[in-house]
Amino acid sequence: MMSRDTRQLSLSGRATEAASPIDRSRESSHDLPPLRAFGLFAGIGGIEKGLGSSGHEAIGLCEIDDGAISVLEKHFPGTALFQDICKLRSIPRGVDLVTAGFPCQDLSQAGQTAGISGARSGLVGHVFRLLEKRRVPWVLIENVPFVLRLGRGRAVQVIVGELERLGYRWAYRVVDTLAFGLPQRRERVFLLASREGDPRSVLLADESGEPPSRSPTRRRALGFYWTEGVRGLGTAVGAVPTLKGGSSVGIPSPPAIMLPSGRVVTPDIRDAERLQGFEADWTLPAQSGGRRAGYRWKLVGNAVTVDVAQWIGLRLRSPAPYDSSWDAPLSQGSPWPNAAWSDGSRRYAAHVSTRPMAVAGPPIDKFLRFEKRDLSARATAGFLGRLRSSSLRRPAWFEPVLENHLARMVSRER
């Protein structure tokens, strides 16, 4: 892909407790003033923390999960908290930006029905209900890439159709956390809509191109999901695959990491928090009330990466020109691409990658700071059994390393 001549945002700088190389300090100058944000489906505040490091202010948060609320109360003291979006009557006055990261499964039913009547069958409908009453200048929506295919694209059609009906221009882009120097392969869709500005100048202006391909070797750490092994491995060279939320009852689902030494480990929850751009023990307040420690994995796995939200926040204050000469109109019924935009009358596919930035970061084995746990003999044996019965492609040395690890674990557990 050829790169555009666009103004790049400087994000390199001092590392923080979250061990991300992105500079979390505010830039010395901005073109636009900070925004006052209201977070719907706020989770543990990943979007709001990232926006806050860009100078914006969260003046209200709405979240129904008790554990997540405990985290928000700790880290956003004095911010108004609302628990149930279904009971939220209106967006408070003075809000410039509404953020929302709702579950994509919520659109399964809505995607089968046209218009707002279908959207209102789920939680996403409450976003439009609130915007109907108060049409704030900016809206930021986050979701998983599957939302682009859900219901053969009907889910996205519902979302952007409602935004257009409410008078918003919009742009969306699939963004990979790896682009921000954090060793986690995590793609998420960010959709930004506005009644005043150009969303393209925020989401689409930065472009670093596709990363160089890296082949798995014994000299590189390899992340994978030991809970898989039949239909996929979820491998990531020098990184971990997307952190998952685990079960609803607090059973964690950490990925496994095959280290260059041959040891196979799982990361500590504090390193998982850092992989999402949070400080270690950000979710510790969620263990109050007798909740299991593993419950924190659910909160971290469902969170928005702080560094990505910070980049969006910085661009909201310092928008850059976007060259749309590469872009082509979207035809009716065509699949939704990884990036697109609308000027309010026509929709276009955007010619950008999933990597707006190219922040250099350490590989996963150098990133981990806290004590790692060896993958148990039971977990290793179960994964090997599924892998051997599958036809999945894997490096020739992958199984022997696992077999040696299993032998060590069995010997240790005797």
For the domain that residue 140 is a member of, what is the CATH number?
3.40.50.150
- Go through 199-231 and write b for each residue having 16 or more CB atoms within 10 A of its CB, e for each that does not: bbbbbbbbbbeeeeeeebeeebbbbbbbbbbee
Task: Give yes or no: residues 336 and 229 share one domain.
Answer: no
The one catalytic residue among 104, 156, 222, 243: 104
Last residue of a domain, one of 325, 349, 373: 349
User: Which positions ≥6 away from 122 have C-beta within 8 Å?
Assistant: 106, 107, 108, 109, 110
Q: What is the CA radius of gyration of the chain?
A: 21
Task: Give yes or no: residues 74 and 124 share one domain.
Answer: yes
Q: Per the domain annotation, does 41 fall within a domain?
A: yes
d(CA 303, CA 298): 9
Concerning whether 104 is annotated as a catalytic residue, the answer is yes
Task: Give yes or no: residues 146 and 263 share one domain.
Answer: no
Q: Per the domain annotation, does 172 fall within a domain?
A: yes
Task: Give yes or no: residues 125 and 271 share one domain.
Answer: no
pLDDT reported for residue 256: 97
User: Which positions ≥6 away from 345 have C-beta within 8 Å?
Assistant: none
291 CB burial (10 A radius; 0-12, 13-18, 19+): middle
Last residue of a domain, one of 327, 349, 371: 349
Task: Give yes or no: residues 235 and 312 share one domain.
Answer: no
Domain that holds residue 134: 36-211+303-349
d(CA 266, CA 255): 6
Written as tens digits, the pLDDT of the chain (414 aa) is 334 444 456 554 333 344 444 444 434 456 899 999 999 999 999 999 999 999 999 999 999 999 999 999 999 999 999 999 999 999 999 999 999 998 765 654 444 444 334 444 478 889 999 999 999 999 999 999 998 988 888 889 989 999 999 999 999 999 999 999 999 999 999 999 999 999 999 999 999 987 777 888 999 999 999 998 888 888 999 999 999 886 555 567 899 999 999 999 999 999 999 999 999 999 999 998 778 888 899 999 999 999 999 999 999 999 999 999 999 999 888 899 999 999 988 999 999 999 999 999 999 999 999 999 999 999 999 999 999 999 999 999 999 999 999 999 999 877
Task: Give yes or no: residues 203 and 319 share one domain.
Answer: yes
Per the CB < 8 A criterion, the answer to whether 91 and 38 are in contact is yes
pLDDT reported for residue 116: 39
Q: Per the domain annotation, does 100 fall within a domain?
A: yes
> From start to end of 19-73, where are the E strands?
36-40, 57-62
Task: Give yes or no: residues 183 and 332 share one domain.
Answer: yes
Q: Per the domain annotation, does 367 fall within a domain?
A: yes
d(CA 114, CA 175): 28
Task: Give yes or no: residues 266 and 344 share one domain.
Answer: no
pLDDT reported for residue 332: 85
pLDDT reported for residue 4: 43
Q: Per the domain annotation, does 253 fall within a domain?
A: yes
Task: Give yes or no: residues 264 and 133 share one domain.
Answer: no
Q: Per the domain annotation, does 113 fall within a domain?
A: yes
Task: Give yes or no: residues 202 and 324 share one domain.
Answer: yes
d(CA 259, CA 373): 12
Number of domains in the chain: 2
Lookup result for tokens 């504090």: 270
Nearest CA among 334, 30, 364, 304 for reference residue 181: 364
User: Which positions ≥6 away from 333 have C-beta within 8 Å?
Assistant: none
- Which of helix, strand or coil describes residue 131? helix
pLDDT reported for residue 231: 85
Q: Which structure tokens are listed for 258?
A: 């095959």
Task: Give yes or no: residues 180 and 128 share one domain.
Answer: yes
Q: Per the domain annotation, does 402 fall within a domain?
A: yes
Task: Give yes or no: residues 51 and 160 share one domain.
Answer: yes
Q: Per the domain annotation, does 393 fall within a domain?
A: yes
